[in-house]
Amino acid sequence: MTTAEHGFTPSPTLRAHVAAYERDIENVLVSEQQIRAKLLELGEAITADYDGRRLLLIGVLKGAFVVMADLSRNIRLPLEFDFMAVSSYGIATKTSGVVRIIKDLDHDLEARDVLVVEDIVDSGLTLKYLLKNLAARKPASLEVAALLRKKGIQQVPLDIRYVGFDIPNEFVVGYGLDYGERYRNLPYVATLKPEVYP
């Protein structure tokens, strides 16, 4: 589909990646290039830190699937993968504090080195709940890698070993993050124009 069919021309400062989405984008907070460089850096750190260990990556669905795919290809170690699905948001943009496990892991965590991969840590409630749940399964180690952290407004202090970017307290989409299940495939992290929200 061409941009002409959508009746608008994407801003030259944005990548014309999903033409139908770009009219909704307000600001690109983290560019595709910045994400690529950061995931390379994090991948190298994880490669060094876990050398000689049996690392299991746990992705938190759905948002983490993009970070998981790109980060894991920068980790030059034998890896195993597992996924968990939790719900905390529905389609709203505020944390409810209620976390529900929708899909549990296939792996037994006992004596495994576990790295939880998250798209974003906002209030930290989701992660706090998850870490408590996972720690009870007796892994050898349990750490977190998060692409984004909303700095300053976290309701629960959490020790996140690998953080990509600290961002302001704004709702963002892209790179796996959605608003109403849309925008996940944008290659950058961006805010939406106010008129996009009902």
Q: Where in the sequence numbering do the catalytic residues fall?
A: 122
Per CB under 6 A, the segment of 21-29, 46-54, 112-120, 134-142 that binds ligand IMP is 112-120
Contact (Cβ atoms closer than 8 angstroms) between residue 120 and residue 93: no
Task: Give the count of residues interacting with Mg ion (CB under 5 A).
Answer: 2
Nearer to ligand IMP, 39 or 117 (CB): 117
Q: Does 191 bind ligand IMP (CB under 6 A)?
A: no
Among the listed residues 35, 39, 46, 172, the single contact to ligand IMP using CB under 6 A: 172
* 126 near ligand IMP, rule: CB under 6 A: yes
Nearer to ligand IMP, 50 or 129 (CB): 129
The least distance separating ligand IMP from the CB of residue 29, rounded to whole angstroms, comes to 10
State both tokens at 147.
């692409």
d(C-alpha 53, C-alpha 157), whole Å: 28
In contact, 28 and 192? CB cutoff 8 Å: no
Closest CA to 56 of 171, 182, 177, 140: 140
**Closest approach of Mg ion to the CB of residue 15, in Å:** 22
Min CB(5)–ligand IMP separation in Å: 28
Structure tokens at 169: 């307290």
196 lies in the site for ligand IMP, by CB under 6 A: no
Go through 162-173 and write b for each residue having 16 or more CB atoms within 10 A of its CB, e for each that does not.
Answer: bbbbebeeebbb
Chain centroid to CA 13: 24
Task: Look at residue 124 and give the partner it binds from ligand IMP, Mg ion, none, a contact being a CB closer than 5 to 8 Å depending on partner kind.
Answer: ligand IMP
Asked if 95 touches ligand IMP (CB under 6 A), the answer is yes
Distance CA 48, CA 87 (A): 33
Site residues for Mg ion per CB under 5 A: 89, 178
